């Protein structure tokens, strides 16, 4: 999650028995990324059966090669690749025994990622926060399961423990939860961002290409707060135009995406307060078990 997940959030998630992921782009430099990974390792020291931390390499990022070199030095066990083919990084990561999970939004993307050597797929479905997919999650996983029997992760619309169970029943091995973790005390999100998530619901999420040039789910109230009219955005922006207008570079024309204009997925309706990671995950486990018991009753 851009500008949200850092060492504290990743470490807290791992301490609760789940994989903690973060985009390497959240670190402002390769030097800071190196420090972050060292922090994550220190915070996990002494905890038995600790799940891996999982950096997310954005394939179109300018410093991709340097970030990759940093992760190789640290001997990472698991990496996510997004916004592009994983092909340039698969072999060097495999050489150190690292698993590569590719973010995919279509059958074509999935097939290309597997040909490139990806070990697992993250199915970016409709309803994911920020850069989002378009496919229905249940249809997507069944279509991919027709040709791939390896690890699958559902991303998008993972509102609670019941959604995680549904993803497993449909054929996924794991669920990827993002939006709900923005409103945790350990996240790097601004307090105003967390408060807006608590106050928002699914209808406050808007799909737009205006800010990135790609389909992205953003919080409509944050667009309004930035002085823009959600009904009159330039939806045909290319990635280059969107970067110039909202990317934060020299000569930027509008408010900065991710900093001033915030993302959220459809699962925002499940956020009713700001909690610790431990509290959120305890609640998710309860929801998951409740859903399992309900399913048993239905099958009796």
Structure tokens belonging to residue 2: 């851009």
User: What is the domain-level CATH number for residue 165?
Assistant: 3.20.20.70
Within a domain: 282: no
134: exposed, middle or buried (Cβ count in 10 Å: 0-12, 13-18, 19+): middle
Q: What is the DSSP string of 126-154?
A: TT-SEE---S-HHHHHHHHHTT--S-EEE
Within a domain: 229: no
Within a domain: 75: yes
Q: Specify the pLDDT at position 290.
A: 97
Q: How many CA atoms lie within 13 A of 51 on its CB side?
A: 16
Within a domain: 238: no
Which residue blocks in 107-219 are alpha helix, DSSP H? 107-115, 137-145, 161-170, 179-182, 191-199
Mean pLDDT, range 82-104, rounded to an integer: 97
Within a domain: 12: yes
Span 168-195, pLDDT tens digits: 999 999 999 999 999 999 999 999 999 9
Span 239-295, pLDDT tens digits: 888 888 888 666 566 789 889 999 999 999 999 999 999 999 999 999 999 999 999
Within a domain: 286: no
Number of domains composing the chain: 1
Q: Specify the pLDDT at position 238.
A: 82
Q: Indicate the pTM of the whole model.
A: 0.92
Q: Which of 83, 81, 82 is nearest to 91 (CA)?
A: 81
Span 48-72, pLDDT tens digits: 889 999 999 999 889 999 999 999 9
Segments forming the whole domain that contains residue 21: 7-187
Within a domain: 230: no
Within a domain: 37: yes
């Amino acid at each position: 999650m851009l500008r949200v997940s850092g060492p504290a959030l990743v470490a807290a998630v791992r301490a609760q028995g789940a994989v903690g992921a973060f985009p390497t782009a959240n670190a402002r430099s390769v030097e800071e990324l190196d420090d972050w990974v060292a922090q994550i390792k220190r915070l996990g020291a002494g905890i038995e059966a600790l799940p891996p931390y999982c950096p997310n390499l954005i394939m179109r990022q300018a410093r991709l090669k340097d970030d990759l070199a940093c992760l190789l030095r640290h001997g990472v066990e698991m990496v996510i690749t997004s916004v592009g083919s994983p092909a340039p990084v698969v072999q060097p990561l495999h050489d150190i025994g690292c698993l590569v999970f590719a973010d995919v939004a279509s059958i074509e993307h999935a097939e290309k990622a597997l040909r490139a050597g990806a070990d697992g797929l993250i199915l970016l479905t409709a309803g994911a926060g920020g850069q989002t997919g378009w496919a229905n999650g249940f249809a997507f996983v069944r279509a991919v399961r027709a040709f791939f029997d390896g690890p699958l992760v559902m991303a998008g619309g993972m509102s609670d423990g019941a959604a995680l169970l549904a993803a497993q029943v449909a054929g996924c091995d794991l669920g990827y939860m993002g939006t709900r973790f923005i409103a945790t005390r350990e996240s790097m999100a601004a307090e105003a961002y967390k408060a807006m998530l608590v106050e928002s619901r699914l209808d406050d999420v808007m799909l737009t290409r205006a800010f990135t040039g790609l389909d992205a789910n953003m919080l409509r109230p944050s667009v309004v707060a930035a002085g823009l009219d959600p009904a009159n955005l330039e939806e045909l922006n290319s990635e280059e135009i969107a970067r110039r207008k909202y990317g934060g570079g020299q000569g930027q024309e509008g408010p900065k995406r991710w900093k001033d204009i915030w993302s959220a997925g459809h699962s925002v309706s499940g956020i009713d307060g700001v909690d610790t990671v431990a509290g959120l995950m305890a609640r998710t486990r309860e929801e998951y078990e409740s859903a399992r018991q309900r399913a048993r009753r239905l099958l009796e």
